[in-house]
């Protein structure tokens, strides 16, 4: 393994083709070996080519602030209205969108209309309550939807920016009611989830009955499944797909085989980020494996920070990790490998083949500043005022003094 005078690994020409290190602010980049082909669905390829990967935290925060400051008042507040039949993944999608938008820096809240219904009418409603010809049931469900919308608008008046209305919202009359309530106060985007995969639906139905508070007191699981399917049949009779206003349709994306995303009248920074997220969103369970890098030369020397290559023990670990990943993820066609931009993580992942590799600056170790390269004993001797921070649990909240001339680009 070629090394420079400091004992650090110098990537060969072939290795440099497979590794791209981006230390600047901006989007991470794919780093693929030149002899490797990665196949994804057309929708994934198109979205990556046009939209790129998520921006770095600083750039996202700046864009989020700009998005809140400029434009008409109505456009600065956004309501995402979920639409779809039961067991189509609406609540799951709403929860993931909420988490993503909060990560982007937007004040976001998830309003689940089912919770409002259960609070007002109880949890023991049978399928008959959801019949389209049950006038009292329809009025009761519209009432709780209006209550949820009123609470959302009040929350927005107090500073909230993005509200997510989680319900079936399966008829035009219901959606028109919500649009009328939002008129002049906020912008509405409908997100419709459509799934035609019967295997996925059957699994979702059984999961719904198992977890929903509506069936918490149901002792006969199969009876609960039959009741839910009857409820679903009533919804199907009156269901009207979205064809009005601004909307995003997610069609058969839950199966994990690509699917389609249809958009209409979508513009602006934040709606664009939502489209990007939904294009790349995984609505089926998938593994996320976390690991430390293999032992580095600086680890052996007991030095803080640095950017050294792996020790012999670290190289053995990287090969064993590659073998484990090959066995564990052999059926995961869309998996990717994320590392920091530091050599020890890149080299740990190097033996892993068959997956795209992405380096994220955000995953880099906290910079040790003037203490970089020191041992703990040297820090204690030379920088006693820093030692207590280094040796305590509040390290994550501490910034080391910078070396002279070091760029202070704290993200």
Q: What is the pLDDT of residue 367?
A: 81
The SS3 of residue 107 is coil
Using alpha carbons only, what angle is made at residue 55 by residues 156 and 30, rounded to the nearest 5 degrees?
145
- What average pLDDT does range 206-219 have in this prediction? 89
Residue 32: count other Cβ atoms within 10 Å of its Cβ. Answer: 17
- Alpha-helix residue ranges (DSSP H) falling in 158-268: 172-182, 198-211, 221-238
- What average pLDDT does range 304-321 have in this prediction? 94
Domains belonging to the chain, first-starting first, are 13-25+289-365 (3.40.50.1240), 42-280 (3.40.50.300)
Whether 121 sits among the annotated catalytic residues: the reply is no
pLDDT-derived band at 13, boundaries 50, 70, 90? very low
Reported as a single tens digit per residue, the pLDDT across 29-54 is: 333 333 332 223 333 333 333 333 34
Q: Which of 293, 295, 298, 307 is catalytic?
A: 293
Q: Which of 9, 67, 166, 307 is catalytic?
A: 166
256: CB partners within 8 A, 6+ apart: 282, 283, 284, 334
The SS3 of residue 82 is strand
Q: What is the pLDDT of residue 330?
A: 80
Q: Which of 165, 186, 195, 281 is catalytic?
A: 195
In this predicted structure, which of 62-71, 227-236, 275-284 has the lowest mean pLDDT? 62-71
What's the token pair of residue 43? Answer: 């929708």
Q: What b/e readout covers 300-317, taking b as 16+ CB neighbours within 10 angstroms?
A: eeebbbbbbbbbeebbeb
Whether 293 sits among the annotated catalytic residues: the reply is yes
Measure the N-to-C terminal CA separation of the chain; round to a whole number of Å: 33
Reported as a single tens digit per residue, the pLDDT across 341-377 is: 999 999 999 999 989 999 999 899 888 888 888 888 8
Q: Which of 107, 240, 365, 378 is catalytic?
A: 365
Q: What is the pLDDT of residue 386?
A: 74
Whether 195 sits among the annotated catalytic residues: the reply is yes
Whether 365 sits among the annotated catalytic residues: the reply is yes
Query: pTM for the complete prediction?
Result: 0.62
Dihedral Cα 6, 9, 12, 16, nearest 10 deg: -110
């Amino acid at each position: 393994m070629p090394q420079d005078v400091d004992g650090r690994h110098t990537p060969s020409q072939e290795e440099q083709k497979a590794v791209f290190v981006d230390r600047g602010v901006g989007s991470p980049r794919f780093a693929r070996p030149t002899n490797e082909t990665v196949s994804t669905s057309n929708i994934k390829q198109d979205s990556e080519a046009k939209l790129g990967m998520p921006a770095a935290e600083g750039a996202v925060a700046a864009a989020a602030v700009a998005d809140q400051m400029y434009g008409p008042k109505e456009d600065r507040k956004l309501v995402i209205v979920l639409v779809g039949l039961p067991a189509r993944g609406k609540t799951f999608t709403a929860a993931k969108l909420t988490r993503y938008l909060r990560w982007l820096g937007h004040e976001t809240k998830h309003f689940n209309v089912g919770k409002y219904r259960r609070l007002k009418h109880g949890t023991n409603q049978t399928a008959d309550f959801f019949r389209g010809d049950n006038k009292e049931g329809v009025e009761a469900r519209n009432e709780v939807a209006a209550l949820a919308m009123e609470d959302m608008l009040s929350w927005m008046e107090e500073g909230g920016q993005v509200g997510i209305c989680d319900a079936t919202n399966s008829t035009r009359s219901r959606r028109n009611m919500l649009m009328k309530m939002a008129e002049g106060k906020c912008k509405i985007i409908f997100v419709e989830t459509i799934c035609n995969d019967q295997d996925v639906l059957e699994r979702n139905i059984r999961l719904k009955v198992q977890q929903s508070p509506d069936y918490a007191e149901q002792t006969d699981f199969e009876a609960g499944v039959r009741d839910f399917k009857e409820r679903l049949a009533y919804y199907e009779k009156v269901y009207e797909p979205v064809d009005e206003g601004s909307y995003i349709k997610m069609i058969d994306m839950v199966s994990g085989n690509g699917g389609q995303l249809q958009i209409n009248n979508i513009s602006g920074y934040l709606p664009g980020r939502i489209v990007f997220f939904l294009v790349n969103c995984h609505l089926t369970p998938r593994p996320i494996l976390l690991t430390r890098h293999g032992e580095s030369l600086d680890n052996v020397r007991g030095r803080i920070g640095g950017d050294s290559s792996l020790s012999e023990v670290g190289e053995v670990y990287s090969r064993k990790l590659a073998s484990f990943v090959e066995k564990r993820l052999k059926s995961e066609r869309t998996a990717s490998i994320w590392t920091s931009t530091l050599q020890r993580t890149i080299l740990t992942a190097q033996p892993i083949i068959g997956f795209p590799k992405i380096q994220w600056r955000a995953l880099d170790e906290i910079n040790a500043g003037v203490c970089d390269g020191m041992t703990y004993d040297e820090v204690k001797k030379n920088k006693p005022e820093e030692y207590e921070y280094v040796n305590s649990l509040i390290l994550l909240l501490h910034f080391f003094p910078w070396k002279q001339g070091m760029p202070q680009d704290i993200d």
